[in-house]
Amino acid sequence: MSASGLVTGRISPRDVQHKTFFHELGHVLRHVGDQRQISELFQQMQEADAERFSLYAAIPFFMLEKLQLPAFEEEAAGIVATVFQVPPEFALLRLKQIRERIASAEFMTAFTYTAVAKENTLPYTTTPEPIIRGVYGLDDLSRPHTLIIEQRGGFKWDQPLYIEVNGTFKSVDVHPNSNRNSAVVRSSDLLIPPSRSGYVMIDMERIASRHGQNANKLFLTIEALEDAINF
């Protein structure tokens, strides 16, 4: 056992295979094309998407919440790793992800209640409404698999961006190699405002910390959006 409390010397090949299986399954179920022929940004987006898929698929929240876990996070990760047959570090990452989501939701709820008067009288942002289009797959034309977000006049990187996600989106075709000056929105970049139904808030400062402030287009997968809503 390491100093952090995680069992790092007893990771079985089966645990690693289990994690790898769900990562590769994410590629099979959600991605098309040859990664050798797409841009580096799309490769990164696919890898991040597959890794996020593996977290949710290997350790589903509806199963995890049924476990009685100790308060000590590293100890809890060891139990989760054993139950779900994944590496302890992978289980710890999932637990931290859930903890951050809960903390963010609690913070947003507290902020909403303490500032409800201001929220009822002040706009969320002074910037124009963003332009949102959808990328649809041939296998499912009922909803897009990715939203492409643009902002008239450019993004305000020091302000959160609120986007409406209910409704339909105009279709747009995106070539894998035509995504310069773009950034990928992760589920961890999203918060659900309790008092603004149908909207999500994008933490633009988090995106800027990864990609800089040159992006003029954001890619938000529907799976990332659903992950933010459903944990």
Conformational region of residue 125, where left means phi above 0, alpha means psi within -120 to 50, and beta covers everything else: beta
Q: φ, ψ for residue 174 (rounded to 5)?
A: -125, 125
136-162 in b/e form (b: 16+ CB < 10 A) is: beeeeeeebebbbbebeeebebeebbb
Does residue 8 register a pLDDT over 50?
no
Torsion sign across C-alpha atoms 109, 221, 189, 130: negative
Q: Which residue has the tokens 């970049």?
A: 189
* More confident position, 7 or 176: 176
Q: Residue 28 above 90 pLDDT?
A: no
Q: What is the pLDDT of residue 86?
A: 93
Residue found by looking up tokens 């310069």 in the block: 180
DSSP-derived letter for residue 35 is G
Q: What's the confidence (pLDDT) of residue 211?
A: 86
pLDDT at 112: 39
Residue 185 has pLDDT above 80, yes or no: yes
* 110-161 residue pLDDT tens: 443 433 333 333 344 445 788 999 887 666 667 788 899 998 888 999 999 9
User: Which one-letter amino acid corresponds to residue 137?
Assistant: G
Q: Does residue 199 or residue 152 have the better pLDDT?
A: 199
129 secondary structure, DSSP code: P
DSSP H or E run through 150: strand 146-150
